[in-house]
Amino acid sequence: MKGTLTELNAYPLKSGGGTALRSAELTARGLPFDREFMLVDPGGRFLSQREFARMALLSPSYDGEVLTVGAPNAAPLVHKAADDGEVLDVRIQRKDCQGIDQGDEAATWFAEFLGAECRLVRFTGRRETSRGGGEVMFADGYPLLVISQESLDDLNTRLDEPLPMNRFRPSLVVEGLGPYGEDDVRLLRVGEAVIEMVKPCNRCLITTTDQETGERGREPLRTLATYRTAERGILFGYNAVPRSLGTLTVGDEVEVVEAR
């Protein structure tokens, strides 16, 4: 079975908006700079749209040196990434890792936006995935999330109002696998790279947050629960780990190397 890569998205700031890419070099830790930055509370626990839905309104971009973050009714944050700050112990989904504190100016900017005390940290060290032997920065668990366009199309036929793909925050969107075809793939060749589909993605409250307005509703979880529920939760999309690296470009051919 063959298809086409239709979207590439990186998320420089965990739980901030995505950056659409036309082409990128796939690394062992996913797309370049993906979840390299994160906000943490005073205890080092990660902050996300689960608690602060308005984080969806943050529009980050990062070129490897300067992180720029836009937000409604605020002057943009223009921050030169620091690698010499204090190394903080931080926690994501009950797992420990480390981040480099990015200083008071950035912390104040985000605290004023969220109305809550926080620090901005940059990933350092090494963090392994729970399964599949991969590496990841500050993503919840895996470096890549793959979704079939036909999966969203099928879901939208069941909703009163269709939703855009950004509700699900994928890394790669593929056309041609068919509805929920990502569930049936083990190895997928995308352009020059091969990725392994390791674990179904268990969906959370973030999918109910409008990524343009920050407003929260009941969909799509209410509808997904009627037909996409398994023991591990409500599933939509598949977490993946790179097995061979290379350039990914929107429009690349996608081929199923090995089915389940």
CA dist 185 and 138 (Å) reads 25
pLDDT exceeds 90 at position 62: yes
The answer to whether 55 and 15 have CB atoms below 8 angstroms apart is yes
Nearest to 256 by CA among 156, 146, 168: 146
pLDDT digits (tens, 9 = 90+) for 12-49: 999 999 999 999 999 999 999 999 999 999 999 999 99
User: Options 2.30.30.60, 2.40.33.20, 3.30.420.140, 3.30.750.24; which CATH number does 1-259 get?
Assistant: 2.40.33.20
Tokens for 24, please give them.
Answer: 């990128």
CA dist 63 and 208 (Å) reads 30
For residue 232, the model assigns a pLDDT of 82
Q: What is the mean pLDDT of the chain?
A: 97
175 beta partners: 4
pLDDT digits (tens, 9 = 90+) for 150-204: 999 999 999 999 999 999 999 999 999 999 999 999 999 999 899 999 999 999 9
Query: H or E segment at 108?
Result: helix 104-114
pLDDT exceeds 90 at position 231: no
Tokens for 108, please give them.
Answer: 């104040």
pLDDT digits (tens, 9 = 90+) for 113-124: 999 999 999 999
For residue 99, the model assigns a pLDDT of 98
For residue 39, the model assigns a pLDDT of 98
Q: What is the pTM of this model?
A: 0.96
pLDDT exceeds 90 at position 69: yes
Domain ranges of the chain: 1-259
Tokens for 260, please give them.
Answer: 């389940």
pLDDT exceeds 90 at position 1: no
For residue 152, the model assigns a pLDDT of 98
Q: How confident is the model at residue 223 (pLDDT cuts 50, 70, 90)?
A: very high
Laid out side by side, the sheet with 119-124 consists of 37-40, 119-124, 95-101, 87-92
Q: How confident is the model at residue 94 (pLDDT cuts 50, 70, 90)?
A: confident
